[in-house]
Structure 1
Amino acid sequence: MTKQTNFRTSEIKPNANISVPIGNILLTEAFFELFGLSRLLNDLKTKGIDLGKLAELMVAYKLGDNFSILRCHEFAMREPVRKHMGLPGFNVKTLYRAVETMGENRELIIGHFRRTFMRMYGPEITDMIFYWTSLVYFGSEPELAARGHSRDGQPEECQVTIGISQLAKPFCVPVRMTVMPGNTHDGKHMIRTYGQVKDVLSEGSMMVFDAGASQKDVLDGIVNDRRHFLTRKQLNKSDDKLFARFSTEEWECLDKEKEEYCLKKAFPSRVNYYYFSGELYELEMKGIEKKIGKKLREAKSLQEDLEKGKKMKKRYEIDNVLIKADIYLQTKLSGISDEEALRILREKEVTGREGFFCLVSDADMEPLKARSIYRDKDVIEKLFSSMKSDIGIRPIRAWTENGVYGILLIGFLAQALVSVKRLFTKPASSTATKFITDSMQKLTLTVERGADGRERRILSNFNPLNISIMRSFGLLSET
């Protein structure tokens, strides 16, 4: 008799078993319980379905599939999900109303999370990092939507700006979110963002942020509150003169092998930390060489077309039938060699600032410490990248301001949960958001129905990462 080695698809029989991803739901419930968010949300809605349960559902779904509210409702209506969360059948409009309610009460919800977390770790917190970005918006254009400098790759679209306050290392947990119109300057946004967290920070805390918000009124306000700031300085002509006089003998050597040097200049109200990095210089010069090579190739292509009398390429035209324009182009390549052309391009592109940057602070510290604190700012840049790509807060599609606030609040809570996971769970501390959420999403609840109608519920697809995460939240015993 021949032994069967292949699975015969013809023998597959349908059954009534159902499997749903459950890991992110379990974790979201534990997160909301730990920080008292469910009780807070339930107090905001006294009739109908618990707002806390609806919020847990939407945050968990954001961590998993992160599609639309409509798709979230479809997921919620799956019987195992409804039974697990104790939800009755409801219309998708219930979720839209829940989003509006959450958006309307965003300050209360985020403030509650921040105060609860700070009570747990407050005495250990010293530094706060601030960052702002833009998100493209599609909807009926509430007042929040405006055209401004786009950091979301959509310069022609309406956008909103979002600011996050995040605790510095080792916590790296976001504790505040501000949302303002898409044309808001970082300096103006910083005043509001900082104003919402300064009451919970101790004296001497360090505020770290980028050059866009380093305005005098911002810096003066931080110092008047008896706190410190560290930011990148916007360079000017006097800095260019200083860079032109750069000398390895006059600047302090930080790392001889990497060619890192620093010049510290103290003023009555601040200290400037000027840095030069050989690695940064090489990186920026490679970028310039690549850029000028591309410009030379473009100019040579145009020169060739002009000499052959070819039709002008579309990228040089105005693509609008209502606009008439006579465009005449010529290049400077006639009579000069490629070497001369590259020299002209290089003189234009090289500024003398290559390899240099400057940090400014009201605190006098060692240059290595100042640079290390500022470099740690990248944790919030990674957080925004995670919120945009993995959590999926962009693009924003909502038709009211509270809807915009609600959608962003759900994304904020989802990201806060991931950050708390990393803090609580050592194996997840250096793991990307996508791998963390995927690991939890793979944890599956299967409802197996027997011939007698009885149900058996089975959790499957455990792995070392989701086991560690669930144990850190008390969902699994250590044995």
Structure 2
Amino acid sequence: MSAGELGYSRDNQPGKLQIAFGISVGLNNIPTMLTIQKGNVQDKKHMQMLIRLCSSVLPEGSLLVFDCGGNTQDNKRRIRDLKFHYLTLKAKKKGPYRNEITIYHARKESQVSFVSGNRVYSCVKYRDGEEVRYIFFCDDLACDQLTKKARKLEKDLEKGKVLTKKVERGKDLGQYIAPEGWIIARGHLQKIIGDIPNPYVTGLEGFFVLESTIDGDPENILNAYKNRDRAEKFIRDLKEGAEPGRSGTGPNTR
């Protein structure tokens, strides 16, 4: 049975059948595990298979480093049941992240700062049960993210100018077929006072949160997470030769 399925394409080729690779790479850049799943398998489910294989390949106490795609409470519990440690990124959802940012500002006296990759990071860490949360902020990262969102707003405003002219002339904005006929889209311009606020700015810019069972130095924790791209680089090398439609990555291991 073919593993090729239509799914989310990281290569922006949604019409092609895809397969999902899961790979574990150690600090020595040598792959330790490789799994292949159908192209429509979600990362969190694929991660479950990798975790099961870890028990056959890795010694107890190993650290699994993976991104937020595999970060679920169930996956983290499975990792701990196998007596491994984990380091992962907390998914950037507004509500939970705003709570973390509140903690970050409330504990300014415990902030530590350091330079990594020519960027200055500050971090507050705290323990929640057996898990340690590392709340990072980088001003350069915030500027980069705000710049990208400003460009996105500019593109939307340019599109809006074209639509505004159609609205002012009473022209249709679009037509959509329906079982009972055609839906004709017409617009109405609601003006506001002042500048248009950027709807893409959330207040989370520059912040990210790492979760781990390791209570370590924030700089070392961040560097360990950054090094997870060994697996991604290995997949890119594979794609240059095999050209699979989609690749997914599993944990980096220590």
TM, length-normalised to structure 2: 0.83
Q: Does 1:204 align with 2:61?
A: yes
Match of 2:20 in 1: 161
Contact kept? 1:251, 1:261, Cα under 8 Å: no
Contact kept? 2:18, 2:244, Cα under 8 Å: no
The alignment of Structure 1 onto Structure 2 pairs a total of residues equal to 243
Q: Distance in 2 between matches of 1:283 and 1:317?
A: 38
Equivalent position amino acid for 1:293 in 2: E
Which of 227, 233, 236 is the matching residue for 1:385?
236
Contact kept? 2:167, 2:188, Cα under 8 Å: no
Match of 2:133 in 1: 272
Q: Distance in 2 between matches of 1:251 and 1:349?
A: 31
Contact kept? 2:112, 2:123, Cα under 8 Å: yes
Q: Cα distance 1:386–1:241, how it changes in 2: closer, same or farther (>3 A)?
A: same
Between 1 and 2, higher relative CO (CA 8 Å, sep ≥ 6) is seen in: 2
Q: Cα distance 1:327–1:270, how it changes in 2: closer, same or farther (>3 A)?
A: same
Match of 2:221 in 1: 370
Which of 87, 109, 112 is the matching residue for 1:250?
109
Contact kept? 1:299, 1:331, Cα under 8 Å: no
Q: Does 1:352 align with 2:224?
A: no
Q: Cα distance 1:242–1:175, how it changes in 2: closer, same or farther (>3 A)?
A: closer
Contact kept? 2:172, 2:184, Cα under 8 Å: no
Aligned-residue identity in percent: 27
Which of 149, 156, 159 is the matching residue for 2:8?
149
Kindly provide the CA deviation profile for residues 300-349 of structure 1, in whole angstroms up to 9, marking residues without a partner as x: 1111133245675xxx555x7999432323254x5446x522x2xx1x21
DSSP 3-state at the match of 1:353: coil
Structure 2 unaligned runs (5+)? 248-254
Compute the displacement of 1:157 (Å). 4.0
Equivalent position amino acid for 2:58 in 1: L
Structure 1 unaligned runs (5+)? 1-141, 397-407, 409-479
DSSP 3-state at the match of 2:10: coil
Q: Greater Rg, structure 1 or structure 2? A: 1
Equivalent position amino acid for 2:215 in 1: D
Contact kept? 2:6, 2:15, Cα under 8 Å: yes
Match of 2:159 in 1: 298
Kindly provide the CA deviation profile for residues 223-247 of structure 1, in whole angstroms up to 9, marking residues without a partner as x: 2222211111124424313314643
Q: Distance in 2 between matches of 1:205 and 1:305?
A: 61
Equivalent position amino acid for 1:191 in 2: Q
Matches within 5 A, 1:49-448: 142=1, 144-168=3-27, 171-236=28-93, 237-244=95-102, 246-247=104-105, 249-255=108-114, 258-308=119-169, 312=173, 316-318=174-176, 324-330=181-187, 332=189, 335-336=191-192, 339-341=194-196, 343=197, 346=198, 348-388=199-239, 390-395=240-245
Contact kept? 1:244, 1:352, Cα under 8 Å: no
Q: Distance in 2 between matches of 1:183 and 1:151?
A: 12
Compute the displacement of 1:176 (Å). 2.1
Higher helix share: 1
Q: Cα distance 1:250–1:149, how it changes in 2: closer, same or farther (>3 A)?
A: farther
RMSD value, Cα:
2.9
Q: Distance in 2 between matches of 1:195 and 1:145?
A: 23
Q: Cα distance 1:217–1:241, how it changes in 2: closer, same or farther (>3 A)?
A: closer
Higher strand share: 2
Contact kept? 2:172, 2:185, Cα under 8 Å: no
